[in-house]
Chains A and B, each alone.
Chain A
Protein backbone atom coordinates (compact mmCIF):
# COMPACT_ATOMS: atom_id res chain seq x y z
CA UNK A 1 0.00 0.00 0.00
CA UNK A 2 1.17 3.49 -0.81
CA UNK A 3 2.61 5.08 2.36
CA UNK A 4 0.95 8.48 1.95
CA UNK A 5 2.67 11.04 4.22
CA UNK A 6 -0.69 12.56 5.22
CA UNK A 7 -1.98 9.24 6.51
CA UNK A 8 1.27 8.40 8.30
CA UNK A 9 1.28 11.81 9.98
CA UNK A 10 -2.38 11.44 10.91
CA UNK A 11 -2.19 7.99 12.45
CA UNK A 12 1.00 8.69 14.40
CA UNK A 13 0.17 12.17 15.70
CA UNK A 14 -3.49 11.64 16.49
CA UNK A 15 -2.68 8.25 18.07
CA UNK A 16 -0.22 9.97 20.40
CA UNK A 17 -2.64 12.87 20.98
CA UNK A 18 -5.57 10.66 21.92
CA UNK A 19 -3.32 8.53 24.14
CA UNK A 20 -2.22 11.67 26.00
CA UNK A 21 -5.77 13.07 26.17
CA UNK A 22 -6.87 9.79 27.78
CA UNK A 23 -4.16 10.24 30.43
CA UNK A 24 -5.23 13.84 31.06
CA UNK A 25 -8.90 12.89 31.17
CA UNK A 26 -8.26 10.16 33.72
CA UNK A 27 -6.44 12.72 35.82
CA UNK A 28 -3.16 10.82 35.82
CA UNK A 29 -1.61 14.25 35.59
CA UNK A 30 -3.67 17.14 36.89
CA UNK A 31 -1.95 20.31 35.75
CA UNK A 32 -3.29 23.70 36.79
CA UNK A 33 -3.23 27.18 35.32
CA UNK A 34 -1.03 27.83 32.30
CA UNK A 35 0.65 24.44 32.65
CA UNK A 36 -2.79 22.94 32.11
CA UNK A 37 -3.28 25.16 29.09
CA UNK A 38 0.03 23.95 27.63
CA UNK A 39 -0.52 20.24 28.29
CA UNK A 40 -4.15 20.10 27.21
CA UNK A 41 -3.19 22.28 24.26
CA UNK A 42 -0.52 19.75 23.30
CA UNK A 43 -3.02 16.88 23.48
CA UNK A 44 -5.61 18.75 21.46
CA UNK A 45 -2.98 20.00 19.02
CA UNK A 46 -1.71 16.51 18.28
CA UNK A 47 -5.17 14.99 17.96
CA UNK A 48 -6.66 17.78 15.84
CA UNK A 49 -3.50 18.28 13.78
CA UNK A 50 -3.52 14.60 12.90
CA UNK A 51 -7.19 14.69 11.95
CA UNK A 52 -6.63 17.73 9.74
CA UNK A 53 -3.66 16.03 8.06
CA UNK A 54 -5.91 13.09 7.24
CA UNK A 55 -8.37 15.27 5.35
CA UNK A 56 -5.66 16.35 2.91
CA UNK A 57 -5.65 12.91 1.31
CA UNK A 58 -9.34 13.15 0.42
CA UNK A 59 -10.36 13.78 -3.16
CA UNK A 60 -13.11 16.14 -1.98
CA UNK A 61 -12.15 17.46 1.51
CA UNK A 62 -14.94 20.05 1.26
CA UNK A 63 -17.45 17.26 1.89
CA UNK A 64 -15.61 15.68 4.84
CA UNK A 65 -18.58 16.33 7.15
CA UNK A 66 -20.53 13.64 5.32
CA UNK A 67 -18.23 11.03 6.86
CA UNK A 68 -20.12 11.26 10.17
CA UNK A 69 -23.24 9.63 8.76
CA UNK A 70 -22.51 5.91 8.32
CA UNK A 71 -21.56 4.80 11.82
CA UNK A 72 -23.71 1.69 11.51
CA UNK A 73 -21.44 -0.02 9.00
CA UNK A 74 -18.27 2.01 8.54
CA UNK A 75 -15.25 2.09 10.86
CA UNK A 76 -14.06 5.27 9.19
CA UNK A 77 -17.33 6.97 10.03
CA UNK A 78 -17.21 5.65 13.60
CA UNK A 79 -13.69 7.02 13.93
CA UNK A 80 -14.81 10.50 12.92
CA UNK A 81 -17.66 10.44 15.43
CA UNK A 82 -15.54 9.01 18.25
CA UNK A 83 -12.83 11.61 17.63
CA UNK A 84 -15.20 14.57 17.72
CA UNK A 85 -17.07 13.15 20.73
CA UNK A 86 -13.77 12.77 22.61
CA UNK A 87 -12.70 16.32 21.88
CA UNK A 88 -16.07 17.72 22.95
CA UNK A 89 -16.37 15.58 26.06
CA UNK A 90 -12.93 16.56 27.36
CA UNK A 91 -13.33 20.28 26.69
CA UNK A 92 -14.97 21.17 30.05
CA UNK A 93 -12.29 19.24 31.97
CA UNK A 94 -9.55 21.06 30.10
CA UNK A 95 -11.25 24.38 30.76
CA UNK A 96 -11.71 23.59 34.43
CA UNK A 97 -8.04 22.58 34.81
CA UNK A 98 -6.85 25.71 33.08
CA UNK A 99 -9.06 28.23 34.89
CA UNK A 100 -9.23 26.35 38.19
CA UNK A 101 -13.03 26.04 38.06
CA UNK A 102 -13.10 22.81 40.05
CA UNK A 103 -15.74 21.15 37.84
CA UNK A 104 -16.48 17.44 38.06
CA UNK A 105 -13.90 15.10 36.52
CA UNK A 106 -16.53 12.65 35.29
CA UNK A 107 -16.52 13.96 31.72
CA UNK A 108 -12.76 13.36 31.83
CA UNK A 109 -13.23 9.68 32.55
CA UNK A 110 -15.87 9.30 29.85
CA UNK A 111 -13.63 11.27 27.50
CA UNK A 112 -10.72 8.93 28.24
CA UNK A 113 -12.86 5.93 27.33
CA UNK A 114 -13.90 7.71 24.13
CA UNK A 115 -10.25 8.50 23.34
CA UNK A 116 -9.41 4.81 23.62
CA UNK A 117 -12.43 4.01 21.43
CA UNK A 118 -11.11 6.46 18.84
CA UNK A 119 -7.78 4.66 18.73
CA UNK A 120 -9.63 1.36 18.37
CA UNK A 121 -11.74 2.64 15.47
CA UNK A 122 -8.66 3.99 13.68
CA UNK A 123 -6.98 0.61 13.94
CA UNK A 124 -10.12 -1.19 12.72
CA UNK A 125 -10.14 0.85 9.50
CA UNK A 126 -7.04 -1.14 8.61
CA UNK A 127 -7.68 -4.38 10.49
CA UNK A 128 -11.08 -4.90 8.83
CA UNK A 129 -9.62 -5.12 5.31
CA UNK A 130 -9.51 -8.75 4.18
CA UNK A 131 -7.86 -7.51 1.01
CA UNK A 132 -4.70 -6.57 2.93
CA UNK A 133 -3.89 -9.77 4.83
CA UNK A 134 -1.02 -8.24 6.80
CA UNK A 135 -3.41 -5.73 8.40
CA UNK A 136 -6.32 -8.12 8.78
CA UNK A 137 -5.05 -9.45 12.13
CA UNK A 138 -5.36 -8.68 15.86
CA UNK A 139 -1.80 -7.37 15.94
CA UNK A 140 -2.99 -4.24 14.10
CA UNK A 141 -5.24 -2.96 16.91
CA UNK A 142 -2.66 -4.21 19.44
CA UNK A 143 0.02 -2.08 17.80
CA UNK A 144 -2.18 1.03 17.60
CA UNK A 145 -3.23 0.77 21.25
CA UNK A 146 0.34 0.12 22.39
CA UNK A 147 1.60 3.17 20.50
CA UNK A 148 -1.10 5.45 21.93
CA UNK A 149 -0.78 4.21 25.51
CA UNK A 150 3.02 4.22 25.58
CA UNK A 151 3.17 7.68 24.01
CA UNK A 152 0.46 8.99 26.32
CA UNK A 153 2.24 7.65 29.40
CA UNK A 154 5.51 9.22 28.29
CA UNK A 155 3.92 12.61 27.73
CA UNK A 156 2.17 12.32 31.08
CA UNK A 157 5.54 11.81 32.74
CA UNK A 158 4.67 8.33 34.01
CA UNK A 159 8.22 6.97 33.69
CA UNK A 160 7.66 3.48 35.11
CA UNK A 161 4.39 2.89 33.27
CA UNK A 162 5.88 4.29 30.11
CA UNK A 163 8.76 1.82 30.25
CA UNK A 164 6.40 -1.12 30.75
CA UNK A 165 4.21 0.08 27.89
CA UNK A 166 7.25 0.56 25.63
CA UNK A 167 8.17 -3.07 26.24
CA UNK A 168 4.60 -4.06 25.30
CA UNK A 169 4.84 -1.86 22.22
CA UNK A 170 8.05 -3.57 21.15
CA UNK A 171 6.36 -6.94 21.58
CA UNK A 172 3.33 -5.83 19.58
CA UNK A 173 5.54 -4.59 16.73
CA UNK A 174 7.51 -7.81 16.61
CA UNK A 175 4.26 -9.81 16.70
CA UNK A 176 2.81 -7.72 13.86
CA UNK A 177 5.87 -8.37 11.73
CA UNK A 178 6.09 -12.05 12.64
CA UNK A 179 2.45 -12.85 11.87
CA UNK A 180 2.31 -10.29 9.06
CA UNK A 181 5.06 -12.03 7.11
CA UNK A 182 2.92 -15.18 7.07
CA UNK A 183 -0.54 -13.68 6.60
CA UNK A 184 -0.69 -13.50 2.81
CA UNK A 185 0.09 -17.18 2.41
CA UNK A 186 -2.31 -18.01 5.25
CA UNK A 187 -5.21 -16.20 3.57
CA UNK A 188 -4.51 -18.24 0.48
CA UNK A 189 -5.16 -15.75 -2.33
CA UNK A 190 -2.99 -16.54 -5.34
CA UNK A 191 -2.89 -15.65 -9.03
CA UNK A 192 -4.71 -18.94 -9.46
CA UNK A 193 -7.64 -17.93 -7.23
CA UNK A 194 -7.66 -14.31 -8.43
CA UNK A 195 -8.11 -15.40 -12.03
CA UNK A 196 -9.89 -18.66 -11.21
CA UNK A 197 -7.51 -20.34 -13.65
CA UNK A 198 -5.39 -22.05 -11.02
CA UNK A 199 -7.23 -25.34 -11.53
CA UNK A 200 -5.97 -25.47 -15.13
CA UNK A 201 -2.31 -24.92 -14.40
CA UNK A 202 0.33 -22.41 -13.30
CA UNK A 203 -0.82 -18.84 -14.05
CA UNK A 204 1.56 -16.07 -15.02
CA UNK A 205 1.20 -12.64 -16.64
CA UNK A 206 1.47 -12.88 -20.42
CA UNK A 207 0.75 -9.29 -21.31
CA UNK A 208 0.02 -6.45 -18.87
CA UNK A 209 -3.46 -4.89 -19.04
CA UNK A 210 -1.84 -1.51 -19.58
CA UNK A 211 1.73 -0.43 -20.04
CA UNK A 212 1.51 2.85 -18.11
CA UNK A 213 0.62 3.43 -14.46
CA UNK A 214 -2.88 3.75 -13.00
CA UNK A 215 -4.59 4.44 -9.69
CA UNK A 216 -4.40 0.80 -8.62
CA UNK A 217 -0.68 0.53 -9.22
CA UNK A 218 0.05 3.84 -7.50
CA UNK A 219 -2.23 3.35 -4.53
CA UNK A 220 -2.22 -0.36 -3.76
CA UNK A 221 0.67 -2.01 -5.51
CA UNK A 222 3.49 -0.07 -3.89
CA UNK A 223 6.66 -2.10 -4.07
CA UNK A 224 9.28 0.61 -3.56
CA UNK A 225 11.72 0.46 -0.67
CA UNK A 226 10.93 -3.02 0.57
CA UNK A 227 14.55 -4.11 0.37
CA UNK A 228 15.50 -2.09 3.46
CA UNK A 229 12.77 -3.67 5.56
CA UNK A 230 15.04 -5.55 7.97
CA UNK A 231 17.11 -2.45 8.74
CA UNK A 232 14.04 -0.26 9.13
CA UNK A 233 12.47 -2.72 11.54
CA UNK A 234 15.51 -2.61 13.79
CA UNK A 235 15.62 1.18 13.50
CA UNK A 236 11.94 1.45 14.42
CA UNK A 237 12.38 -0.78 17.47
CA UNK A 238 15.49 1.07 18.66
CA UNK A 239 14.07 4.57 18.16
CA UNK A 240 10.46 3.97 19.18
CA UNK A 241 11.08 1.69 22.16
CA UNK A 242 14.66 1.01 23.23
CA UNK A 243 16.21 4.51 23.37
CA UNK A 244 13.16 6.24 24.93
CA UNK A 245 12.93 3.44 27.49
CA UNK A 246 16.62 3.78 28.42
CA UNK A 247 16.34 7.57 28.66
CA UNK A 248 13.34 7.28 30.97
CA UNK A 249 15.10 4.71 33.15
CA UNK A 250 18.27 6.81 33.39
CA UNK A 251 16.98 10.35 33.98
CA UNK A 252 13.75 11.68 35.43
CA UNK A 253 13.62 15.21 34.11
CA UNK A 254 11.17 16.99 31.83
CA UNK A 255 13.94 17.56 29.29
CA UNK A 256 14.74 13.85 29.28
CA UNK A 257 11.05 13.10 28.77
CA UNK A 258 10.97 15.49 25.82
CA UNK A 259 14.01 13.81 24.28
CA UNK A 260 12.46 10.39 24.84
CA UNK A 261 9.18 11.46 23.19
CA UNK A 262 10.92 12.97 20.18
CA UNK A 263 13.03 9.86 19.61
CA UNK A 264 9.92 7.76 20.06
CA UNK A 265 8.10 9.82 17.42
CA UNK A 266 10.82 9.31 14.83
CA UNK A 267 10.67 5.58 15.50
CA UNK A 268 6.89 5.67 15.28
CA UNK A 269 7.07 7.31 11.85
CA UNK A 270 9.47 4.61 10.67
CA UNK A 271 7.21 1.86 12.02
CA UNK A 272 4.13 3.40 10.44
CA UNK A 273 5.88 3.83 7.11
CA UNK A 274 6.66 0.12 7.23
CA UNK A 275 3.07 -0.63 8.20
CA UNK A 276 1.95 0.76 4.86
CA UNK A 277 4.88 0.03 2.56
CA UNK A 278 5.00 -3.63 3.54
CA UNK A 279 1.28 -4.25 3.31
CA UNK A 280 0.39 -6.17 0.17
CA UNK A 281 -3.05 -5.82 -1.38
CA UNK A 282 -4.49 -8.88 -3.13
CA UNK A 283 -5.24 -6.83 -6.28
CA UNK A 284 -1.51 -7.01 -6.99
CA UNK A 285 -2.10 -10.63 -7.96
CA UNK A 286 -3.80 -9.50 -11.18
CA UNK A 287 -0.63 -7.67 -12.10
CA UNK A 288 1.69 -10.45 -11.03
CA UNK A 289 3.04 -8.19 -8.29
CA UNK A 290 2.76 -8.13 -4.54
Chain B
Protein backbone atom coordinates (compact mmCIF):
# COMPACT_ATOMS: atom_id res chain seq x y z
CA UNK B 1 0.00 0.00 0.00
CA UNK B 2 1.21 3.47 -0.80
CA UNK B 3 0.01 4.84 2.50
CA UNK B 4 2.89 6.31 4.44
CA UNK B 5 4.20 4.60 7.57
CA UNK B 6 2.96 6.42 10.70
CA UNK B 7 6.53 6.59 11.95
CA UNK B 8 9.90 5.36 10.74
CA UNK B 9 12.43 3.87 13.16
CA UNK B 10 15.29 5.72 11.54
CA UNK B 11 15.33 8.78 9.33
CA UNK B 12 18.24 8.24 7.03
CA UNK B 13 19.16 11.22 4.92
CA UNK B 14 21.76 13.75 3.89
CA UNK B 15 22.99 17.03 5.31
CA UNK B 16 24.37 19.03 2.39
CA UNK B 17 26.78 21.84 3.16
CA UNK B 18 26.20 24.76 0.80
CA UNK B 19 29.24 26.50 2.29
CA UNK B 20 31.69 23.78 1.34
CA UNK B 21 30.22 22.60 -1.96
CA UNK B 22 32.38 23.78 -4.84
CA UNK B 23 30.02 22.59 -7.56
CA UNK B 24 32.48 20.08 -9.02
CA UNK B 25 29.74 17.57 -9.97
CA UNK B 26 31.71 14.62 -8.55
CA UNK B 27 28.55 13.49 -6.74
CA UNK B 28 26.53 13.69 -9.96
CA UNK B 29 29.02 11.48 -11.76
CA UNK B 30 29.45 9.04 -8.89
CA UNK B 31 25.67 8.73 -8.51
CA UNK B 32 25.17 8.09 -12.20
CA UNK B 33 28.04 5.60 -12.21
CA UNK B 34 26.87 3.58 -9.21
CA UNK B 35 23.20 3.57 -10.10
CA UNK B 36 23.92 2.53 -13.66
CA UNK B 37 25.14 -0.89 -12.77
CA UNK B 38 23.26 -2.33 -9.84
CA UNK B 39 19.91 -1.34 -8.44
CA UNK B 40 17.07 -1.43 -11.01
CA UNK B 41 17.08 -0.25 -14.59
CA UNK B 42 20.21 1.62 -15.72
CA UNK B 43 20.06 5.40 -16.04
CA UNK B 44 19.80 5.78 -19.79
CA UNK B 45 21.07 8.59 -21.98
CA UNK B 46 19.51 9.75 -25.21
CA UNK B 47 21.74 11.09 -27.94
CA UNK B 48 24.62 11.57 -25.46
CA UNK B 49 27.18 12.75 -28.02
CA UNK B 50 24.73 14.44 -30.36
CA UNK B 51 23.36 17.94 -30.69
CA UNK B 52 20.54 17.48 -28.19
CA UNK B 53 21.76 15.23 -25.39
CA UNK B 54 19.48 14.18 -22.55
CA UNK B 55 19.56 11.59 -19.81
CA UNK B 56 18.33 10.39 -16.45
CA UNK B 57 20.12 11.69 -13.36
CA UNK B 58 19.18 11.29 -9.70
CA UNK B 59 21.24 14.22 -8.52
CA UNK B 60 21.94 17.53 -10.20
CA UNK B 61 24.02 20.49 -9.07
CA UNK B 62 22.65 23.98 -9.63
CA UNK B 63 24.49 27.22 -9.09
CA UNK B 64 22.85 30.34 -7.77
CA UNK B 65 23.83 33.91 -7.17
CA UNK B 66 22.59 35.45 -3.96
CA UNK B 67 22.65 39.21 -3.69
CA UNK B 68 22.32 40.44 -0.09
CA UNK B 69 20.95 43.94 0.37
CA UNK B 70 24.14 45.34 1.89
CA UNK B 71 27.02 43.08 0.91
CA UNK B 72 28.73 41.62 -2.12
CA UNK B 73 26.94 38.90 -4.10
CA UNK B 74 27.86 35.29 -3.32
CA UNK B 75 27.75 32.19 -5.48
CA UNK B 76 26.13 29.10 -3.97
CA UNK B 77 26.48 25.65 -5.51
CA UNK B 78 23.36 23.68 -4.84
CA UNK B 79 23.06 19.89 -5.22
CA UNK B 80 19.45 18.75 -5.64
CA UNK B 81 18.23 15.18 -5.08
CA UNK B 82 15.47 13.33 -3.23
CA UNK B 83 14.99 14.58 0.34
CA UNK B 84 13.29 11.35 1.50
CA UNK B 85 10.35 13.35 2.88
CA UNK B 86 8.43 12.19 5.94
CA UNK B 87 5.14 13.23 4.32
CA UNK B 88 6.16 12.20 0.83
CA UNK B 89 3.39 13.19 -1.61
CA UNK B 90 5.11 11.14 -4.33
CA UNK B 91 4.25 7.97 -2.40
CA UNK B 92 0.58 8.58 -1.68
CA UNK B 93 -0.32 9.56 -5.26
CA UNK B 94 1.13 6.36 -6.73
CA UNK B 95 -1.71 4.19 -8.12
CA UNK B 96 0.23 0.93 -8.22
CA UNK B 97 2.01 0.76 -4.89
CA UNK B 98 5.34 0.96 -6.71
CA UNK B 99 6.39 4.00 -4.68
CA UNK B 100 6.86 3.38 -0.99
CA UNK B 101 8.58 4.69 2.11
CA UNK B 102 10.36 2.12 4.25
CA UNK B 103 9.18 1.94 7.85
CA UNK B 104 12.59 0.81 9.10
CA UNK B 105 14.79 3.63 7.80
CA UNK B 106 12.54 6.11 5.98
CA UNK B 107 14.12 5.63 2.55
CA UNK B 108 11.69 6.38 -0.30
CA UNK B 109 11.99 3.83 -3.10
CA UNK B 110 10.33 2.73 -6.33
CA UNK B 111 9.60 -0.93 -7.02
CA UNK B 112 10.42 -0.79 -10.71
CA UNK B 113 8.64 -4.07 -11.44
CA UNK B 114 5.31 -2.56 -10.41
CA UNK B 115 5.76 0.96 -11.81
CA UNK B 116 3.58 1.80 -14.84
CA UNK B 117 5.46 5.01 -15.60
CA UNK B 118 2.43 7.25 -15.18
CA UNK B 119 4.65 10.08 -13.96
CA UNK B 120 2.21 11.29 -11.31
CA UNK B 121 4.79 10.92 -8.52
CA UNK B 122 7.17 13.23 -10.40
CA UNK B 123 4.34 15.77 -10.63
CA UNK B 124 3.73 15.47 -6.89
CA UNK B 125 7.37 16.08 -5.91
CA UNK B 126 8.14 19.78 -5.42
CA UNK B 127 11.89 19.24 -5.76
CA UNK B 128 12.21 17.61 -9.17
CA UNK B 129 13.77 14.56 -7.54
CA UNK B 130 12.17 12.00 -9.83
CA UNK B 131 12.90 11.43 -13.50
CA UNK B 132 11.13 8.95 -15.76
CA UNK B 133 13.67 6.88 -17.65
CA UNK B 134 13.03 7.18 -21.37
CA UNK B 135 14.24 3.66 -22.16
CA UNK B 136 12.94 1.61 -19.22
CA UNK B 137 9.67 3.60 -18.97
CA UNK B 138 9.82 3.48 -15.19
CA UNK B 139 10.42 6.14 -12.54
CA UNK B 140 13.97 6.62 -11.24
CA UNK B 141 14.94 8.38 -8.05
CA UNK B 142 17.66 8.52 -5.40
CA UNK B 143 17.75 5.27 -3.38
CA UNK B 144 20.13 6.73 -0.80
CA UNK B 145 22.34 3.94 -2.18
CA UNK B 146 20.34 1.35 -0.31
CA UNK B 147 22.54 -1.23 -2.06
CA UNK B 148 25.70 0.28 -0.55
CA UNK B 149 24.81 1.38 2.95
CA UNK B 150 23.89 -2.13 4.18
CA UNK B 151 26.24 -3.99 1.84
CA UNK B 152 28.60 -6.14 3.86
CA UNK B 153 30.59 -7.04 0.77
CA UNK B 154 31.88 -3.49 0.71
CA UNK B 155 34.62 -2.23 3.04
CA UNK B 156 33.15 -0.34 5.98
CA UNK B 157 34.18 3.09 4.70
CA UNK B 158 32.30 2.52 1.45
CA UNK B 159 28.99 1.82 3.15
CA UNK B 160 27.61 5.27 2.50
CA UNK B 161 25.89 6.81 -0.55
CA UNK B 162 28.14 7.18 -3.59
CA UNK B 163 27.66 10.95 -3.63
CA UNK B 164 28.84 11.25 -0.02
CA UNK B 165 31.78 8.93 -0.61
CA UNK B 166 32.94 10.80 -3.69
CA UNK B 167 32.61 14.42 -2.55
CA UNK B 168 36.15 15.81 -2.49
CA UNK B 169 35.28 18.65 -0.10
CA UNK B 170 33.20 16.61 2.33
CA UNK B 171 30.14 18.73 1.64
CA UNK B 172 27.74 15.80 1.89
CA UNK B 173 27.01 14.02 5.16
CA UNK B 174 24.98 10.85 5.57
CA UNK B 175 23.28 9.73 8.77
CA UNK B 176 20.18 9.20 10.89
CA UNK B 177 18.19 12.36 11.61
CA UNK B 178 16.05 10.49 14.15
CA UNK B 179 19.12 10.19 16.38
CA UNK B 180 19.82 13.60 17.96
CA UNK B 181 23.47 12.66 18.52
CA UNK B 182 24.21 11.64 14.94
CA UNK B 183 26.66 13.71 12.94
CA UNK B 184 23.92 14.99 10.64
CA UNK B 185 21.65 16.00 13.53
CA UNK B 186 24.48 17.83 15.29
CA UNK B 187 25.59 19.59 12.12
CA UNK B 188 22.03 20.67 11.46
CA UNK B 189 21.65 22.03 14.97
CA UNK B 190 25.02 23.82 15.00
CA UNK B 191 24.81 25.32 11.55
CA UNK B 192 21.09 26.13 11.38
CA UNK B 193 20.33 23.52 8.73
CA UNK B 194 17.07 24.13 6.90
CA UNK B 195 14.44 22.24 4.88
CA UNK B 196 13.52 23.22 1.33
CA UNK B 197 10.07 24.66 0.51
CA UNK B 198 8.45 23.92 3.88
CA UNK B 199 5.24 25.50 2.51
CA UNK B 200 4.73 22.35 0.41
CA UNK B 201 4.07 20.34 3.59
CA UNK B 202 6.39 17.48 2.62
CA UNK B 203 8.52 17.49 5.79
CA UNK B 204 11.79 16.59 4.10
CA UNK B 205 14.38 14.58 6.03
CA UNK B 206 17.42 16.04 4.24
CA UNK B 207 18.78 19.33 5.50
CA UNK B 208 20.86 22.02 3.83
CA UNK B 209 23.54 23.87 5.79
CA UNK B 210 23.62 27.56 4.85
CA UNK B 211 26.72 29.37 3.53
CA UNK B 212 28.71 30.78 6.44
CA UNK B 213 28.79 34.53 6.94
CA UNK B 214 31.44 36.07 4.73
CA UNK B 215 34.11 38.31 6.30
CA UNK B 216 33.75 42.00 5.58
CA UNK B 217 36.86 43.98 4.71
CA UNK B 218 38.15 45.81 7.79
CA UNK B 219 38.36 49.55 7.38
CA UNK B 220 41.96 50.44 6.46
CA UNK B 221 44.04 52.16 9.21
CA UNK B 222 45.00 54.65 6.53
CA UNK B 223 41.37 55.50 5.76
CA UNK B 224 41.42 58.97 7.42
CA UNK B 225 44.16 59.98 5.01
CA UNK B 226 41.87 59.27 2.10
CA UNK B 227 39.72 62.23 2.98
CA UNK B 228 41.95 64.56 1.00
CA UNK B 229 40.83 68.19 0.99
CA UNK B 230 41.02 69.76 -2.39
CA UNK B 231 42.45 73.25 -2.55
CA UNK B 232 42.53 76.09 -5.05
CA UNK B 233 40.15 76.01 -8.00
CA UNK B 234 39.34 72.30 -7.46
CA UNK B 235 38.48 73.08 -3.82
CA UNK B 236 36.21 75.96 -4.86
CA UNK B 237 34.49 73.70 -7.44
CA UNK B 238 34.08 70.97 -4.82
CA UNK B 239 32.47 73.39 -2.35
CA UNK B 240 30.19 74.92 -5.00
CA UNK B 241 29.06 71.54 -6.31
CA UNK B 242 28.43 70.39 -2.76
CA UNK B 243 26.05 73.30 -2.25
CA UNK B 244 23.94 72.75 -5.34
In the complex, which residues 83-112 of chain B have their Cβ closer than 8 Å to any Cβ of chain A? 89, 91-98
Write the B126-143 contact mask toward A (1 if CB under 8 angstroms, else 0).
111001111011110000
Q: Does A99 contact B (CB under 8 A)?
A: no
Q: How far is the CB of A184 from chain B (nearest CB, A)?
A: 12
Q: How far is the CB of B195 from chain A (nearest CB, A)?
A: 7
Q: How far is the CB of B208 from chain A (nearest CB, A)?
A: 5
Q: Does B3 contact A (CB under 8 A)?
A: yes
Q: Does A181 contact B (CB under 8 A)?
A: no
Q: Which of B1, B23, B198 has the most CB of A within 10 A?
A: B1
Which residues does chain A contribute within 8 Å of B91, judged by CB atoms? 73
Q: Does A72 contact B (CB under 8 A)?
A: yes
- Given A58-B117, A286-B62, residue A1 in contact with residue B123 (CB < 8 A): yes
Instruction: Choose among A76, A187, A214 the residue that contacts B95 (Cβ–Cβ < 8 A).
Output: A76
Q: Does B222 contact A (CB under 8 A)?
A: no
Assuming A70-B95, A130-B200, A283-B125, what are 5 further A-B pairs, CB within 8 angstroms? A66-B95, A74-B95, A197-B64, A197-B66, A202-B67
The CA-CA distance from A209 to B76 in the complex, in Å, is 12
In the complex, which residues 49-101 of chain A have their Cβ closer than 8 Å to any Cβ of chain B? 57-61, 63-64, 66-70, 72-77, 80
**How many residues on B have C-beta within 8 angstroms of the other chain's C-beta atoms?**
70
21 sampled A-B residue pairs with Cβ under 8 A: A59-B119, A61-B116, A66-B95, A69-B95, A72-B2, A74-B93, A131-B125, A189-B199, A195-B196, A196-B196, A202-B66, A202-B67, A207-B62, A209-B62, A212-B53, A214-B55, A214-B57, A219-B132, A283-B125, A286-B80, A286-B127
Q: How far is the CB of B171 from chain A (nearest CB, A)?
A: 15
CB atoms of A73 and B96 under 8 A apart: no
Q: Does A164 contact B (CB under 8 A)?
A: no
Those 7 A-B pairs whose CB atoms lie nearest each other, nearest first: A59-B117, A59-B137, A201-B68, A207-B63, A77-B95, A283-B128, A67-B95
CB atoms of A64 and B80 under 8 A apart: no
- Interface size, A (range): 35 or more
Q: How far is the CB of B209 from chain A (nearest CB, A)?
A: 10
Which residues does chain A contribute within 8 Å of B125, judged by CB atoms? 131, 283
Number of A-B residue pairs with CB-CB distance less than 8 Å in the complex they form: 201
Q: Does A228 contact B (CB under 8 A)?
A: no
Q: Does B38 contact A (CB under 8 A)?
A: no
Instruction: Choose among B1, B78, B126 the residue that contacts A73 (Cβ–Cβ < 8 A).
Output: B1
CB atoms of A76 and B80 under 8 A apart: no
Q: Does B169 contact A (CB under 8 A)?
A: no
CB atoms of A75 and B93 under 8 A apart: yes
Which residues does chain B contribute within 8 Å of A203, judged by CB atoms? 64-66
Write the A217-235 contact mask toward B (1 if CB under 8 angstroms, else 0).
0011000000000000000
Which residues does chain B contribute within 8 Å of A132, judged by CB atoms? 123
Q: Does B151 contact A (CB under 8 A)?
A: no
